[in-house]
């Protein structure tokens, strides 16, 4: 089990003091949080990618992650997410190969389309091409990290002739890729096709929706011959706020929740915590909540918490991380490891990927997927999943009657 934290780098006013950090202060606090993550025992630190206020998550994540790599020893570094639609695949391939070398392999990526519509025209792209861009760009990136002297031609960028990425990935093994999506079955299909990981950032979604997306990915992972459905690589999101007793946690966190730009002025804190992974309470409640996610998601390999948002002061965030390190991380890891069958893999590391590469076991799908084929397969699989869920609901209703 790989447990980490991710930041979206929001610059939000603290509703209890009226204080708004400067961009400089927010950037510096991100460094403190990353270093604290290694100190208390988190496995991963990840940063989002934003190109607009009120966010200071880097527009070029390798800049931040390279600095963190130089100031840590074991912390794995990730994105959350890299915009595969608006970034050029050649630039992604070279930047993250370089970061992989600097960090001695402590890097993975989460690919996504992002949730900011205007970012497409900012980079000369058409948002109506979001899915085709994600599919074509990743197909090129996948090849760039595995082949030299590439001849390539697609529909959405200029061709390449005899091109080789420099530097080539460390040990000739690319960083592991998670495909992040919350609502697009095409992305779950894409992750399954390549044998990559699927990260469902479910922090705003009910378990029923996340379970359907994860099930779709697992089914297609097995269909493409990468292993059994239960051996697929699944990542989930999390949000918590903890205190010794739940009443204090709710009292302290409520003003931040009520005024947060991401979910304030909507459902109540009580409704939100009932329907999403947000858990506001004691460390034991957090442990029980996240262990229970295995009941509907199966064994999952990556769990990433958002904890530095909504205007929470940095000192409070660091205190939350201390609680994580002392009371939550050891128990979650131990219990998940005990429950996970021996033939279900843990989260991929560079060393694990190198071993597979040398044994000729790279999870690489052959051929070049076409956008229309991907969409047709994904839509069909989603319909089948929905029909199955509908049948199950009807059976339950019949039994209730």
The residue among 219, 162, 155, 157 whose CA lies nearest residue 193 is 219
Given a cut of 90, whether residue 347 has pLDDT beyond it is yes
Tokens 């988190």, residue located: 42
Predicted pLDDT at 263: 79
Q: Give yes or no for a contact between 68 and 27, defined as CB atoms under 8 angstroms apart.
A: no
Say which residue, 116 or 300, is predicted with more confidence: 300
Predicted pLDDT at 367: 45
Given a cut of 60, whether residue 385 has pLDDT beyond it is no
Given a cut of 70, whether residue 335 has pLDDT beyond it is yes
Predicted pLDDT at 174: 97
Q: How many other CB atoms are found less than 10 A from the CB of residue 155?
A: 10
Given a cut of 80, whether residue 308 has pLDDT beyond it is yes
Q: Give yes or no for a contact between 282 and 246, defined as CB atoms under 8 angstroms apart.
A: yes
Rounded distance, CA 376 to CA 371, Å? Answer: 9
Mean pLDDT along residues 51-67: 88
Rounded distance, CA 112 to CA 79, Å? Answer: 10
CA distances from 367 to 89, 139, 162, 341 (A): 18, 9, 19, 32
Phi–psi pair at 158, nearest 5 degrees:
-70, 155
Given a cut of 90, whether residue 377 has pLDDT beyond it is no
Predicted pLDDT at 361: 79
The residue among 217, 229, 231, 236 whose CA lies nearest residue 341 is 231
Q: Give yes or no for a contact between 172 and 188, defined as CB atoms under 8 angstroms apart.
A: no
Predicted pLDDT at 49: 86
Given a cut of 80, whether residue 29 has pLDDT beyond it is yes
Predicted pLDDT at 182: 86
pLDDT tens track for 235-284: 999 999 999 999 999 999 999 999 987 777 889 999 999 999 999 999 99
Given a cut of 70, whether residue 378 has pLDDT beyond it is no
Residues constituting the chain: 401
Predicted pLDDT at 86: 87
Given a cut of 50, whether residue 145 has pLDDT beyond it is yes
CATH class label, 2-396: alpha beta
- pTM to 2 decimal places: 0.89
Phi–psi pair at 305, nearest 5 degrees:
-100, 135
Q: Model confidence at 140, in pLDDT bands (50, 70, 90)? A: very high
The winner for highest mean pLDDT among 26-35, 49-58, 77-86, 387-396 is: 26-35
The residue among 324, 120, 59, 347 whose CA lies nearest residue 231 is 347
Mean pLDDT along residues 135-147: 96
Coil, helix or strand at residue 251:
helix
Phi–psi pair at 194, nearest 5 degrees:
-85, -5
The residue among 167, 173, 166 whose CA lies nearest residue 146 is 173
- Token pair in block for residue 28: 């510096």
Rounded distance, CA 146 to CA 366, Å? Answer: 12
Given a cut of 50, whether residue 315 has pLDDT beyond it is yes
Domain boundaries, the chain: 2-396
| Dihedral angle sign, alpha carbons of residues 359, 363, 366, 368 | negative
Mean pLDDT of the chain: 89
Predicted pLDDT at 365: 45
Predicted pLDDT at 113: 84
CA distances from 347 to 40, 180, 201, 288, 304 (A): 19, 16, 17, 21, 12
């Amino acid at each position: 089990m790989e447990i980490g934290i991710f930041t979206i780098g929001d610059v939000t006013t603290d509703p209890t003091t009226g204080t708004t950090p400067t961009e400089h202060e927010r950037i510096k606090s991100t460094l403190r949080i990353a270093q604290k993550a290694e100190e208390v025992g988190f496995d991963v630190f990840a940063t989002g990618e934003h190109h607009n206020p009120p966010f200071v998550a880097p527009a070029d994540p390798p800049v931040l992650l390279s600095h963190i790599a130089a100031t840590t020893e074991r912390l794995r570094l990730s994105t959350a997410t890299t915009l595969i639609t608006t970034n050029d695949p050649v630039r992604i391939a070279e930047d993250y190969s370089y970061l992989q070398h600097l960090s001695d392999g402590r890097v993975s990526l989460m690919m996504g389309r992002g949730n900011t519509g205007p970012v497409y025209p900012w980079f000369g792209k058409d948002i109506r091409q979001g899915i085709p861009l994600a599919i074509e760009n990743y197909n090129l990136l996948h090849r760039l990290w595995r082949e030299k002297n590439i001849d390539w031609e697609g529909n959405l960028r200029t061709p390449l002739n005899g091109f080789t990425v420099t530097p080539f990935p460390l040990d000739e093994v690319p960083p592991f890729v998670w495909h992040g999506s919350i609502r697009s079955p095409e992305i779950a299909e894409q992750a399954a096709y390549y044998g990559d990981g699927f990260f469902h950032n479910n922090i705003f979604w009910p378990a029923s929706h996340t379970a359907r997306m994860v099930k779709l990915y697992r089914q297609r992972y097995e269909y493409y011959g990468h292993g059994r459905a239960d051996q697929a690589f699944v990542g989930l999101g999390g949000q918590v706020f903890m205190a010794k007793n739940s009443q204090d946690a709710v009292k302290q966190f409520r003003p931040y929740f009520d005024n947060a730009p991401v979910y304030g002025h909507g459902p109540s804190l009580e409704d939100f915590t009932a329907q999403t992974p947000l858990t506001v309470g004691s460390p034991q409640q957090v442990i029980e909540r996240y262990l229970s996610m295995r009941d509907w998601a199966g064994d999952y390999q990556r769990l990433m918490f958002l904890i530095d948002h909504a205007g929470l002061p940095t000192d409070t965030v660091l205190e939350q991380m201390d609680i994580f390190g002392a009371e939550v991380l050891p128990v979650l890891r131990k219990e998940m490891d005990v429950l996970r069958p021996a033939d279900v893999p843990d989260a991929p590391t560079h060393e694990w990927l190198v071993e597979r590469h040398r044994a000729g076991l790279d999870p690489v799908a052959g051929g070049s997927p076409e956008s229309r084929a991907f969409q047709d397969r994904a839509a069909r699989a989603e319909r089948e999943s929905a029909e199955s869920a509908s049948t199950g609901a009807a059976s339950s209703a019949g039994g209730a009657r």
